[in-house]
Each structure stands twice: as C-alpha cells, then as structure tokens.
Amino acid sequence: MANVTGRKGNVVKFQVLGVAQTAKMLIAKDIAVKGAISAGIMQAATLIDEEVKESIAGNRAENKSVDTGEFVKSVRISQMSKDSATISSDVPQATFMEYGTSRGILARHHFENTKNRNKDKVEDKIKISINRVV
C-alpha cells in the first residue's frame, strides 16, 4: 500500500508499505509453484508410463506387442527432474516395435501415439497441481 507522508512545494513524498512481506510471500509462492510443477510432472509421468504399457499389451489402438512380456516390463520412468520426465525402454525390440523394420515388422508407435493421445491429460495434471497452491 502506498502511503503519502508529506509534501513540500512541488515534491510529494510517499512510502510503499509491506514490500518485505510481499517479497516473502512471492518467494513462498514461487517455491510452492515449483513443488507443484514437480508433483504434476510425476503424476503425468506415471500416467504415461501406465498408458505405454497398456498400448504394448494391446489395450489401446496399437497392435499388441507382447510375446515374452520383456518389452512391457522394461517400460519405466527413466529420468525425472523438477521440470521433465522421460519414459523409456532399454530392450532392443522397443525400437523395432516403435518404428518398424525393413524385415516386415510394422511400426506400432506405442510411445508416440501415447504421447499424442494424452497431451491434454498431462497438461491438466500439471495445471491442477499448480492451481492447488496458487
């Protein structure tokens, strides 16, 4: 709040009250929002991890890619940071199933299609998490 404390001739002196408290509040909100973003990213990563597995298992639009179960079991959240997450598989057949091969394996795009199908859900999870703290 601005408080006029006096005037003299063509000079007006005023003081803004509550600057320190406002700065503290903004720092606390910044910390809370960063934490909410991380929580939302973790929730979104968990959703995508589960959805990729469902896609591989044949429970989504893509053809089933389960033979031994090794591929579906290998999908995991492989990197997590405060502002991003990576869902991946380290088995060799993951690349073949995603992009296809010259030897007749058709591309199934489990990861790409899951990403495209769930963009709005990922965004919503992060927004909801942020809205809880602002």
What are the domain boundaries of the chain?
2-131
Give per-residue pLDDT as tens, 17-34. Answer: 888 999 999 999 999 999
Q: Using 50, 70 and 90 to split pLDDT, how confident is the model at 8?
A: confident
Distance separating alpha carbons of residues 42 and 112, to the nearest angstrom: 19
- Say what the alpha-carbon torsion angle 78, 42, 130, 30 is, to the nearest 10 degrees: -60
pLDDT of residue 84: 94
Give per-residue pLDDT as tens, 45-92. Answer: 999 999 999 999 999 999 999 989 999 999 999 998 888 999 999 999
Phi/psi of residue 37, nearest 5 degrees: -60, -45
